[in-house]
Structure 1
Amino acid sequence: MGAVDPQGLLAAHESIARELAAQGDWQRAYEHLRSALELARSGQLQCAHPHIPEQYRLEVERLRRERAQARRESLTDSLTATYNRRYLDRRLAELTAPSVALVDLDLFKHINDRFGHRIGDQVLQRVVGLLQQTLPPEGFCARYGGEEFVLVTPAARPEDAVAIAARARARVADFPWSHIRPGLSVTVSIGVAPFSGRPGRRHDPQELLVEADAMLYAAKRAGRNLVAHREHGRVRFVPTLRARVTRPCP
């Protein structure tokens, strides 16, 4: 076999990297550019190209930034700037003891029909900001779909997960929505599924979401603008309902 031509190898890495970048394959393009940069720095190239190492360093940095930006965009909801369902599914699978709260805007279709979709979009954006306030550092909010969001609080005690959801509900209900449009009011219903914390039991993300959805349905059925959670086999509400404190398990 003949000797490898460093100049030709450099050109090949560069050509492959450009083609992969054009296809949006940032990971492999980045790897080829790194190989080109290492080759250029190795001293095997003709001295007629003294600026190649710097050129490739800048190209690698540019591609790294573009790749990072593309990754952020792939995990973020474009309207509300919070995380999206893809991020939620991935993180729930990674966490060991998460509690989840499923949040739904009450009568959101009525808001869109009465005030228009532009106001509806503003409501969604504002609600996300209110939901995210006072989340613990490791907690996050993700858009589940439409007007539904999920609050995730890793390693939170059941009572803490409920308290976080209750404060979020109150912030939305107490916000001066009429400043955005006279006559506008917004509330949310929330279903909380705390992690059981049973020794040796690994959580199932889908089981948590199904339980949170059942609790959300209970909150809606009980009159909306409530947080519902299960305690000792019974459904309880925050704020406490005067006429009906608990309900049997569905």
Structure 2
Amino acid sequence: MAAHGGSGQQGSDRLALLETAWHGRDVTPEQAAQTARAALKSPDGARADVILAYLDWRAGHYSRSAGRLGRAMPRLERGPGLPDVWLGRALNTLANLHSLLNQPGEAATLFGRQLQLARDLDSAELEASGLHDLGVSQFLVGDAVRAEAHLRRALPLLDGLSDPVGQGIARLNLGILNLRAGQPQVATEQLLRALATVWGGPEAEVARAPELPWLESRLRRSLLEAAEAAGDDRLVAEQETALRRLSTRAPDHLEIALDIALALSSRAGPQATLEQLRPVLDLARRLGQEQHAGLVCAHERLSEACAALGDPGAALDHLRAALALERATHAAEREQQYRTLEVLHHTRVLNDIAEQERQKNSQLLSDLRDLQTLNEHMRRLSLTDGLTGLYNRYHLFLEGERLSARAAPDRPLGVAIIDIDHFKRINDRCGHLPGDEVLRTLARLIRDFAQPGDLAARYGGEEFVLLRPGVSAPAFAADLQALRQAVTGFGWEAVAPGLRVTVSIGVAEACGPHFEAGLGAADQCLYLVKNTGRDAVRFCHSPECPPGPA
């Protein structure tokens, strides 16, 4: 272990306090931050910076987290004695930061270095967190097979540690992975075990749940979804009751209130949806958090509810609010990413680390070779949607802005949003597996329709986007009738008996630095199609891109 400064008992006591702060960082983050700040100017300041960097990362302050790691890691790596577990904790935090910045290759390399250090130090904590977080990073880019393998390797290590919260989070992630793989029964078992691991029996649950409402809300929302997919009405009712009870214990926590309201409104009628979600918007206004990114889903669901209740004006207001919030979120995310990458570039915290650590056993060598081959594979996956194989939302905006910048009013970029009509009904009637097959099949039909130079992407949920350079909205809309007819005429009976699928398509144009405006105009067109019967194509002109020749 690296030597830590301070004389005698004082230095040992300070390091013990920092260890306690690290292990309590998720349960009592304010207390952990207070302990770390008190030690910043001490000889253990680098370790204190690692705790604060982790808390900054969790709170979404990415550039600040990167700056702290840039200060701490060289001191931890080059200090007196051998590197210790704190360097591994810093590597883990930096790896997760790169994963959030959509740099899965960099993240995989850093996780590999963490695992190497874990074996050198014989640290079960570092090995467990490295394997778990690598699995989560792989899941985020659609590599479910490797994600599950690493999560399952992490579980026995976590079970051997006195960390019920870590065990619960690992089982939560495994449950979500099983649920997305169409295994609701397996997911239910994992999620119930997660609840039992963190809270124990019913009496322990009542006593400890207020300490971890964020984890309980995520577990119970996932368990509710798994129970619905498995057709377990008793478990559905239990989780709905537990979520309502939880909402009274954390009344002023926006993320928890939003999580619970979205879960409870998923099966509710339109009036009940309004009653569930409107108080969340009131809470956001009261807390001054009206720009919270999660409110996009709330506005979209409220828009659907208002439309179903015959209030198109309110429905349009909520849709506009969702679009404005989504644009603001994208802009903030891009600015945050640029700032963070600039900090990482200037600090260059990984230059020396990459050359120093050496593999010391055959298992680690195998892991590192596997991680190195993953870099390019994960880079490709980071640009594609795991379910449909089309480009994902991130690549859509990246490439869409580039294509729009090259366009002009006389040769605009055609923008089409394609939405499956009544997709929730398909999921409710046929199940999530046939629903997934509908998404994959529509993706194939869009790919077959696309021309060279087009870009097809999954926009989110049941929405897809097709971009075509050099075509006006009227001409693009006319061409897209063929796609609409191909969807209507497809043999959906092979997916589920009696299944019929149609799509609504909104078309607009983009040019110059106004890609999001073109996308927004297409979205408005799509809304008009859905409110005038669906199964149609309609075009609009974006005000930022005056109409050119058809």
**What CA deviation, in whole Å up to 9, does each residue of 1:94-147 have, x standing for no partner?**
112221101110000110111111110000100111112131111121111111
Match of 1:72 among 380, 390, 398: 380
The answer to whether the aligner puts 1:207 opposite 2:517 as a matched pair is yes
> 2:432 maps to what in 1?
117
Indicate conservation of the 8 Å contact 2:445/2:487, yes or no. Answer: yes
SS of residue in 1 equivalent to 2:449: coil
> 2:324 maps to what in 1?
none
How many residues align structurally?
Answer: 187
**What CA deviation, in whole Å up to 9, does each residue of 1:216-246 have, x standing for no partner?**
011111100000113799xxxxxxxxxxxxx
Indicate conservation of the 8 Å contact 1:162/1:229, yes or no. Answer: yes
**Change beyond 3 A, Cα 1:158–1:118:** same
Trace 1:191-230 onto structure 2 (pairs within 5 A).
191-195=506-510, 202-230=512-540
Equivalent residue letter for 2:526: L
> 2:423 maps to what in 1?
108
Indicate conservation of the 8 Å contact 2:458/2:465, yes or no. Answer: yes
**What CA deviation, in whole Å up to 9, does each residue of 1:63-102 have, x standing for no partner?**
4x53221111111111111111001010111112221101
Equivalents in 1 of 2:450, 2:458: separation in Å? 15
> 1:161 maps to what in 2?
476
Equivalents in 1 of 2:542, 2:415: separation in Å? 18
Equivalent residue letter for 1:164: D
Indicate conservation of the 8 Å contact 2:473/2:541, yes or no. Answer: no
TM-score by length of 2: 0.31
Trace 1:74-153 onto structure 2 (pairs within 5 A).
74-95=382-403, 96-97=406-407, 98-153=413-468
Equivalent residue letter for 1:223: G
Indicate conservation of the 8 Å contact 1:173/1:186, yes or no. Answer: yes
> 2:233 maps to what in 1?
none
Q: Deviation at 1:19?
A: 6.2
Equivalents in 2 of 1:100, 1:170: separation in Å? 19
SS of residue in 1 equivalent to 2:540: strand
Equivalent residue letter for 1:114: R
Equivalent residue letter for 2:533: G
Return 165-174 or 115-124, whichever deviates more.
165-174
Equivalents in 2 of 1:21, 1:232: separation in Å? 45
Which structure 2 residue ranges, 5 or more long, are not aligned? 1-105, 115-133, 135-347, 356-367, 408-412, 544-550
Q: Deviation at 1:159?
A: 3.8
**Change beyond 3 A, Cα 1:232–1:116:** closer
Which structure 1 residue ranges, 5 or more long, are not aligned? 1-16, 36-58, 234-250
Equivalents in 2 of 1:160, 1:72: separation in Å? 33
Equivalents in 1 of 2:109, 2:495: separation in Å? 48
**Change beyond 3 A, Cα 1:147–1:164:** same
Equivalents in 1 of 2:393, 2:535: separation in Å? 24
Equivalents in 1 of 2:472, 2:385: separation in Å? 28
**Change beyond 3 A, Cα 1:224–1:21:** same
> Higher relative CO (CA 8 A, sep ≥ 6), structure 1 or 2?
1
Q: Deviation at 1:171?
A: 0.9
Equivalent residue letter for 2:420: L
Equivalents in 2 of 1:131, 1:21: separation in Å? 37
Equivalent residue letter for 2:521: E
SS of residue in 2 equivalent to 1:99: strand
Identity within the alignment, %: 39
Equivalents in 2 of 1:135, 1:160: separation in Å? 14
Return 111-120 or 174-183, whichever deviates more.
174-183
> 2:499 maps to what in 1?
184
Equivalent residue letter for 1:207: A
**Change beyond 3 A, Cα 1:67–1:221:** same
| Larger helix fraction of residues | 2
SS of residue in 1 equivalent to 2:505: strand
Return 208-217 or 156-165, whichever deviates more.
156-165
Indicate conservation of the 8 Å contact 1:161/1:194, yes or no. Answer: no
**Change beyond 3 A, Cα 1:72–1:219:** same
**Change beyond 3 A, Cα 1:75–1:232:** closer
> 1:173 maps to what in 2?
488
Indicate conservation of the 8 Å contact 2:521/2:540, yes or no. Answer: no
| Larger strand fraction of residues | 1
Indicate conservation of the 8 Å contact 1:132/1:140, yes or no. Answer: no
> 2:13 maps to what in 1?
none
**Change beyond 3 A, Cα 1:21–1:137:** farther
**What CA deviation, in whole Å up to 9, does each residue of 1:180-223 have, x standing for no partner?**
2211000000000124x6xxxx2411101110011001111110
Equivalents in 1 of 2:427, 2:529: separation in Å? 22
SS of residue in 2 equivalent to 1:189: strand
SS of residue in 2 equivalent to 1:133: helix
